[in-house]
Amino acid sequence: MADHGLIGNPLGRSFSPQLHRALGGYDYALWPLTEPQLEPFLIKREFSAVNVTIPYKKAVIPYCAALTEEARQIGSVNCLRKEPDGTLLGHNTDLYGLLYLARRAGVQLKGKKVAILGSGGTSLTAQAAARKEGAREVLVVSRRGELTYERLLKEHRDTEVLINTTPVGMFPHEGAYAVDPSLFPHLEGALDAVYNPLRTAFIQKVEDMGLPCSGGLPMLAAQAWAAARFFTGEDIPEEKLEKALKELEFSLTNLILCGMPGSGKSSLGALCAQQLGRTFVDLDTEIEKAAGCSIPEIFQKEGEEGFRRRETEALRHFSREEGLVLATGGGTVLQEENQGLLRQNGLCVWVRRPLENLPTQGRPLSQGGLAKLQAMYQAREPLYRKVSRAILENTGTLQEGAEKLREVFYETAHHQRP
């Protein structure tokens, strides 16, 4: 039985067991506790150490014989360690997690005007981090507090760093954001504590502005690393944190193939998925399954508008999955919503093949010869470029293409910042 774990309610999906096994080498359990179950659990203390998440980060404090300086500074506890005398020591590693998140993303807080979106527990951590780093001004924004979002936009457009600590944009409400970062002309960087999806709409907006930014996965991993050090008393090197984080992100990231119809996305994707041990999804095939008819028949019955609606519905579903290889249709990038869905949990690779080599049979929008394909390509090329992080020239054999695709995926995934 594990003597390390996580308590909270509800717990849902958690990456903590995977991270703690990689970082601390111990078994790690999830213990969802209702409020009446919390006190007996803490009195019995049949554990060595536990992490604490919402809603119990403050509720566990009375059961602690002592608190570390970090826990006192934040005013909440996310780690409990049973001491040799049986008492509990409360600690907080969230501050380190947020500082690591900012440092890894290259977002500077020192001397900056920082606006923190939200006023909950994570906001307290962000406030402490900004002050610790020497921010020039720290604003706390909330819907009903003294500084509302309306006032932020009216009076503080000179904000230089935005930190989102709200759940806005989190699954299942992807696509939303608390405030539009593009409305801040002096913005220099942004952070988002949300890590599901890996890239929220908020972070995608900042990426499009060409500014340093990051979703919350590095913060999650860093606080787990600091907790593992606290639990074990061992000097676990930070390199181990970076390795565990990259492995976790790689396992979660969908490999998504985009490009012109007939460029080889489905064939390459199916073989690459087999080689990687991942599930392969062909978006067009899934659309046909849901419709009960072929794509040409969908176009005949519902037109392109009906097909695009079905396409977005299918993509919305599969973009929430993790660890897939997903081949999209040639026109999937045309819908703005789809562009965000492709990027939120995916690494897009643009598969290119000479236009004269593209097959057109069974592809309603590819009919009309080379001139039609060239016009289509000119319209779509900027969109393929926008959503893609890498390009694969598919000019060799299927085996050669799949090997190149694996290499591109691995190299790009391990050099990007979440």
Q: How do the domains of the chain map onto residue ranges?
A: 4-94+222-228, 107-211, 253-415
Cα distance between residue 231 and residue 236, in whole Å:
11
Q: What mean pLDDT do residues 161-187 have?
A: 97
User: Do residues 213 and 189 touch, judged by C-beta distance below 8 A?
Assistant: yes
Secondary structure, 3-state, 97-114: HHHHHHHHHCCCCCCCEE
Q: What is the mean pLDDT of the chain?
A: 95
Long-range own/partner contacts, residues 131-139 (CB < 8 A, 24 or more apart): 132/95, 132/99, 133/99, 133/102, 133/109, 134/109, 134/110, 135/109, 135/110, 135/111, 135/161, 136/111, 136/112, 137/113, 138/114, 139/113, 139/114, 139/115
β-pair partners for 256: 326, 348
Strand partners, 351: 392
- CB-CB contact of 365 with 261 (8 Å): yes
- What's the CA angle centered on 344, arms 343 and 350, to 5 degrees? 20
Question: pLDDT per residue over 51-101, tens digit each?
Answer: 999 999 999 999 999 999 999 999 999 999 999 999 999 999 999 999 999
pLDDT digits (tens, 9 = 90+) for 9-28: 999 889 999 999 999 999 99
Count the Cβ atoms, other than its own, within 10 Å of residue 57. 22
> pLDDT class for 360, splitting at 50, 70, 90?
low
Helix/strand number for the chain, H first, E second: 15, 16
Structure confidence at residue 1 (pLDDT)? 66
Whether 253-415 and 4-94+222-228 are alike in CATH topology: the answer is yes
Identify the band that residue 359 occupies on the pLDDT scale cut at 50, 70 and 90: confident
The pLDDT of residue 364 is 52
Using the structure block, give the residue that is written with the tokens 């944190």: 241
What lies within 8 Å, CB to CB, of 199 at 6+ separation is 207, 215, 343, 344, 345, 418
Q: Do residues 326 and 318 lie in contact, with contact meaning Cβ atoms separated by under 8 Å?
A: yes
Strands (E) across 259-405 are located at 279-282, 324-327, 346-352, 388-393
**Predicted confidence band of residue 174 (pLDDT cuts 50, 70, 90):** very high
Flag whether pLDDT at 363 surpasses 80: no
Q: 209 near 181, Cβ under 8 Å?
A: yes
For domain 253-415, the question of CATH label 3.60.70.12 is answered with no
Q: pTM for the complete prediction?
A: 0.92
As a CATH number, domain 4-94+222-228 is 3.40.50.10860
- Tell me, what's the pLDDT at 265? 97
Identity of the amino acid at 210 = G
User: Is-contact 23 15, C-beta < 8 A?
Assistant: no
Q: Would you say residue 155 has pLDDT above 60?
A: yes
In the chain, the amino acid numbered 335 is: Q
Cis peptide before 167 (omega within 30 of 0): no
Instruction: Let me know: does 182 contact 209? Beta carbons within 8 Å.
Output: yes
Q: What is the pLDDT of residues 285-309, one digit of tens each?
A: 999 999 999 999 999 999 999 999 9
Q: Is the pLDDT of residue 349 over 50?
A: yes
Mean pLDDT score, 154-162: 99
**Separation of alpha carbons 159 and 166, rounded Å:** 18
Q: Confidence class of residue 356 from pLDDT cuts 50, 70 and 90?
A: confident
pLDDT at 418: 43
**121 against 220, higher pLDDT:** 220
For 107-211, CATH number out of 3.30.70.20, 3.40.50.300, 3.40.50.720, 3.90.230.10 equals: 3.40.50.720
Confidence (pLDDT) at 109: 99
Q: Kindly state the average pLDDT of the residues 262-286.
A: 97
pLDDT for residue 256 is more than 80:
yes
Angle ∠(249,253,259) on CA atoms, nearest 5: 145
pLDDT 10s digits, 375-386: 999 999 999 999
